[in-house]
Structure 1
Amino acid sequence: MEFKDFYDIIRENLESYDGDYEDFINYGPDLFKLLTDVLNENDVSSNIRLKISAAIAYYVAPFDIIPETIYGPDGYIDDIFVCLYVLKEIEDEMGFEFLEELWECETDLREVVDECYVKSKDVVNDKIHHILQYVGLIE
């Protein structure tokens, strides 16, 4: 029996997606992997580790604010938003170069972060507080 990494599962789920938000949803698996790669670094503070863990948990939670089981690939929009929210905090604490060194995609990380953050934030705009509260990133 072959076990799949969660990254591979997300990638498979999005393999044939060509919806309205395809231009940034397809980065979801790579952003998830970046979070897990940051978690594997030794010099990451416990505060950032907790935030990363919360974002990863949000990715795998079956019934988050916009669940994939109901909305299909569009259900990853809130997951991507949470991921980027945490990546921006990592950038503030550790610098963008730290993230760039871990980024394995050919696409420029700054472009991906900026585009995906703006677009995911626009979609979840009225739910931002609820999403961040749900995952424990704000009170």
Structure 2
Amino acid sequence: MENEFKDFYDVLSDNLESYQGEYASFIDHGPHLFKLLTEVLNDEKVNQNLRLEISAAIAYYVVPMDVIPEQVYGPYGYIDDIFITVYVIKKIEEAFGYEFLEKHWEGTGNLEKVVNECYERSLEVLEDKKEQILSYVGLI
């Protein structure tokens, strides 16, 4: 019997595909935003400092007990992961622009609109946890 391993992107997609809650409009972008970070990490243009920030955002997805753990909150627990992801994507955009990011984007919709919606909506939900999350990852 052969074991089948799933890509983490597939695990995220499976975890979120049935979510129909209040935040579905932006939580659905989580797997594609994660994939975007992994693709950008492979780009030779990205400097060491951005690589470290991208790696921190990717790692935050897999930490089992982060600030809002998925094991406790279900799909709602991905909101902090998405926040960290778009926080770092905004830094990448400042350095290279959206044209660079769009080369790696496999999601649906206009990337800039997706990033802005995810950032704004996650901040609405996270309220005062923003600093705690950024500190946990080492981004501030």
TM range (shorter): over 0.9
Specify the SS of the correspondent of 1:102.
Answer: coil
Q: Report which stretch shifted further, 63-72 or 118-127.
A: 118-127
Corresponding residue number in structure 2 for 1:82? 84
Conserved? CA contact 2:33–2:107, under 8 Å: no
Stretches (4+) displaced over 3 A = none
Q: Residue in 2 aligned with 1:126?
A: 128
Hey, what's the Cα distance between the residues in 2 that align with 1:84 and 1:26?
14
User: Among 52, 55, 74, which residue is 1:53 paired with?
Assistant: 55
Instruction: Note the residue ranges of structure 1 that are not aligned, 5 or more in a row.
Output: none
Structure 1 position 24, deviation (Å): 0.3
> Could you tell me whether the CA contact under 8 Å between 2:82 and 2:122 is conserved in 1?
yes
Q: Which amino acid aligns with 1:18?
A: Q
- AA in 2 matched with 1:46: Q
Deviations 1:64-85 (A, max 9, x none): 0000000000000000000000
Per the alignment, residue 75 of structure 2 pairs with 73
Q: CA deviation at 1:105?
A: 2.2
Task: Determine the C-alpha separation between the residues in 1 that align with 2:16 and 2:57.
Answer: 19
Cross-structure match for 1:5: 7
Letter in 2 for 1:94: F
Distance in 1 (alpha carbons) for counterparts of 2:20 and 2:108: 21
Which ranges of structure 2 fall in alignment gaps of 5 or more residues?
A: none
TM-score (norm 1): 0.97
Cα-Cα RMSD:
0.7
**2-structure distance, mates of 1:61, 1:25:** 18
Partner SS, residue 107 of structure 1: coil
Deviation of residue 108 (structure 1)? 1.0
Task: Look up the equivalent residue of 1:124 and give its one-letter code.
Answer: L
Query: Of the candidates 111, 117, 120, which is equivalent to residue 119 of structure 2?
Result: 117
Instruction: Give the one of 104, 111, 123 matched to 1:102.
Output: 104
Matched residue pairs, number? 138
Distance 1:9 1:58 in 2: 15
1:38 aligned partner: 40
CA shift, 1:41, in A, is 0.5
Deviation of 1:106 (Å): 3.3
1:21 and 2:23 correspond: yes
